Each structure stands twice: as C-alpha cells, then as structure tokens.
Amino acid sequence: MLGVIVNSISICIGGLIGLIFKNLIKESYKETVMNGIGLCVILIGITSAIKTKSMLPIIISIVIGSLIGEMLNIEEKLNNLGDWIGEKFSKEGGSFSKGFVTTTLIFCVGAMSIVGSLESGLKGSHDTLYAKSILDGVTSIVFGSTLGIGVAFSSISVLIYQGLIVLSASMVKDFFTPQMINEVSALGGLLIIAIGINILNIKKIKIGNMIPSLIIILMYYALV
C-alpha cells in the first residue's frame, strides 16, 4: 500500500500548490499547458491501447460496459458526488465537480494505475506507482491552478481505487494472468484517450459510463 499512499499524497500536495499559486499563472499559459497535457494524455492512452493482442474482448467490453454505465448513469452520479462534496468545502460546486471528476478519471483509469497497483499487490513492487506519483504530482499542480480544490480531493478516490486493487490482487494472486493485465491496461489506455479528447474539448465523451467495461473484460478472461 506504500506506493498508493505516496501517489495519493503527491496528488493532494500538487493540487494544493496549483491552487495557492494559480493567480501567478496567466490564463493564456494555463490554456496552453492544459492543451499540452491533453495531447500527452492521448499519447499515454495510445501507447497503452496499442499493446492489445486481441481486439474482440475490448470491443465487447466497451459495448456491454457502456450500456451498463448508461443504465446506471454513472457519469451523472460522479458529477453529483462532486457537486455534493463541493457544497461542503467550496462555494463553487460546479467547478469543484469538474476538477474532482476529471482528475479522478485521469489518475484512476489508466495503465499505470492498474498495472502499478497490481504489481504492488502481486509482487510487492512499488516502482511503477512511484513513477506515477511524480507524473500525477506535476499534472495536479497544473490542474489545481485551473480546476480548483476538487483536484486535491481526487487523491481520496485514488487512495480508495488503487488501494482496493492492491488488496484484491494480494488476495487472488493466481487469478491475474499476464494476458489479463495486458488487455485491461489496453482498455484503460482507450479510456485515457477519451479523457484527452475531453480535455481538448474536441467532443464530450461520457467516460464515467464506460468504467464498467473494465469489470466486463476481467469477467471475460475469468470465464475464458
């Protein structure tokens, strides 16, 4: 769990630093940096997604998972959760929600988050999560300066999400095969690409409603 804790702390500190010094960063700089981060997020997603060895399970998982997500309306529930927390800690609930939901998805749904947590639980190795902590810390500074306090609170989501993966992996070590880890990471990469598209305002994609696809692909390989 050490890697998860370090990752969460780096996001929280980065978000607070960005919030404190946001007035020292010009809006034009923020916009340019955000666009740059959006492109980098897409690149990270592509490098993970292209590692897939079988497209069919990913397509099936995305279709079924998205349908389930739409029925459960996960995206709206995430936004409502962000707004509710925002009402408690901020006068700008909408802004809080955007920062909380956006960075929660960015920091949680991805190859490094999944693989790093699995390595931590299966092997006791935290190297990947340490590397992710550096990237997330720097990214959260920029996000914190543009999206507000919600970025710092996304560290709680990271702690819970990655912590659950670590604990689950440690309890069922024999269940996760290299192929399963690779395909889940590839699917996570696909969702990361969608996050980059949202950051660049190219098209609004309900990524939250696609999250169940990660569970579907695990079920698929469990049955296989």
**pLDDT value for 172:** 74
Amino acid at 193: I
Q: Using an 8 Å Cβ cutoff, are 151 and 17 in contact?
A: no
**pLDDT value for 90:** 55
Full residue range of the structural domain in which residue 13 is found: 2-223
Domain count, the chain: 1
Token reading at 34: 């955000």
Cα torsion angle, 43, 143, 15, 86, sign: negative
Q: Using an 8 Å Cβ cutoff, are 150 and 98 in contact?
A: yes
pLDDT digit string, tens, across residues 142-185: 888 888 888 899 999 899 999 998 998 888 777 777 788 788 87
The rounded distance, in Å, linking the Cα atoms of 51 and 182 is: 7
pTM of the complete model beyond 0.85: no
Neighbours of 166 (CB within 10 A): 24
**pLDDT value for 60:** 93
Averaged over successive runs of 10 residues, the pLDDT of the chain (224 residues) comes to 92 90 74 81 85 90 94 84 66 68 78 77 80 85 84 91 88 77 83 85 86 87 80
Q: Using an 8 Å Cβ cutoff, are 165 and 122 in contact?
A: no
pLDDT digit string, tens, across residues 37-52: 788 878 888 988 888 8
**pLDDT value for 89:** 59
Crossing angle of helices 74-89 and 93-108, rounded to 10°: 130
**pLDDT value for 124:** 79
